[in-house]
Amino acid sequence: MQLLADPGVFPCEPPSDPNDASAIATHDWAAFSQVEEMTNHWDRPGWTDDTRAYYWMLTFPSATPLIDHARRCQDALRHLNLDDIDDDGLHLTLGRIGNVQEVSEEQLDILAGIASASLPAEFALNAIPLTASRGAVRYSVAPWTPVLQLHEALAAAGASVGLPMKQPTSILRPHLGIAYCNRPLPAPTVRDAIRPLRDLPATQVSVRQVHLVELRREERRYRWEIVHTLELRRRSVR
């Protein structure tokens, strides 16, 4: 998969090596270093408390080391008054399928059935502290290749049933947020707060499932209902 530059995603340029943790973390930090002011994540056209949309998502409700790590980082950033992501809300968004008004339950069932037959193998993902985008504080993640392969499989399944992914795999920038910015905020202030946390070790999570969820906003939180859970292919033990 060739990753492409796109001004609509962050960072707009892909890293030099999508599987090298150091290269990804350095690249993400360099991109954030060019941001002068963070913006309100919740000021998003088309999203209200009444919006409901279907997404593919990785979630980590049982990943205790990741949850503890994220809480430690959130505590260190408490003075910034960001909107922390709850323990059960940590997620990696893979892609949007469509609004609930646009997609039927039958379509979702067919999509899930086709996607489940072509999923790649389970994998491990490293959450690397810590960086930010224009609207959120987040982990870099590595390696990207298994995430990209999963996205490709889901996108192909969606295209086959007339539910194409809203963004192509070529511009996916995998990341894992821990807090959302809720107002304009000088980015140098956030960088100063984040910088000491970049010395923390990475934490690893296992990815064995992908969820098709119905996503909504509740004030300044994301919440979801799981519609389908698909199991990634198990790796053979030798």
pLDDT in tens, 127-152: 999 999 999 999 999 999 999 999 99
Q: What percent of the chain has pLDDT over 90?
A: 94
Residues near 155 by beta carbon (within 8 Å), at least 6 away in sequence = 95, 164, 165, 168, 169
Residues near 21 by beta carbon (within 8 Å), at least 6 away in sequence = 126, 128, 140, 142, 143, 202
Please say whether the dihedral angle defined by the alpha carbons of residues 78, 50, 134 and 136, taken in this order, is positive or negative: positive
Domain-embedded: residue 145: yes
Q: How confident is the model at residue 1 (pLDDT cuts 50, 70, 90)?
A: confident
The pair phi, psi for residue 36, each rounded to 5°, is: -95, -35
CA separation for the pair 44, 6 (Å, rounded)? 19
Q: For residue 205, what pLDDT is reported?
A: 97
Is it the case that residue 198 has pLDDT exceeding 70?
yes
DSSP 176: E
Is it the case that residue 234 has pLDDT exceeding 80?
yes
Q: What's the average model confidence in pLDDT over 37-49? A: 91
CA separation for the pair 234, 70 (Å, rounded)? 28
CA separation for the pair 133, 9 (Å, rounded)? 10
Domain-embedded: residue 15: no
Q: For residue 237, what pLDDT is reported?
A: 57
Q: How confident is the model at residue 45 (pLDDT cuts 50, 70, 90)?
A: confident
Rounded (10°) CA dihedral 50, 40, 69, 219: -30
Domain-embedded: residue 142: yes
Domain-embedded: residue 98: no
Do the beta carbons of residue 32 and residue 156 sit within 8 Å? Answer: no
Q: What's the average model confidence in pLDDT over 202-214? A: 98
Domain-embedded: residue 218: no
Q: For residue 70, what pLDDT is reported?
A: 98
Question: pLDDT tens for residues 81-124?
Answer: 999 999 999 999 999 999 999 999 999 999 999 999 999 999 99
Q: For residue 46, what pLDDT is reported?
A: 81
Is it the case that residue 238 has pLDDT exceeding 70?
no
**pTM for the full predicted model:** 0.95
Is it the case that residue 220 has pLDDT exceeding 70?
yes
What the block records as the tokens of 125 is 């993902």
Identity of the amino acid at 91: H
CATH of the domain at 25: 3.90.1140.10
User: How many domains is the chain partitioned into structurally?
Assistant: 1
Domain-embedded: residue 96: no
Tell me, rounded to whole angstroms, the distance of Cα 160 from its chain centroid.
24
Domain-embedded: residue 46: yes
Q: Over the chain, what is the mean pLDDT?
A: 96
Domain that holds residue 69: 21-50+62-89+113-209
Domain-embedded: residue 41: yes
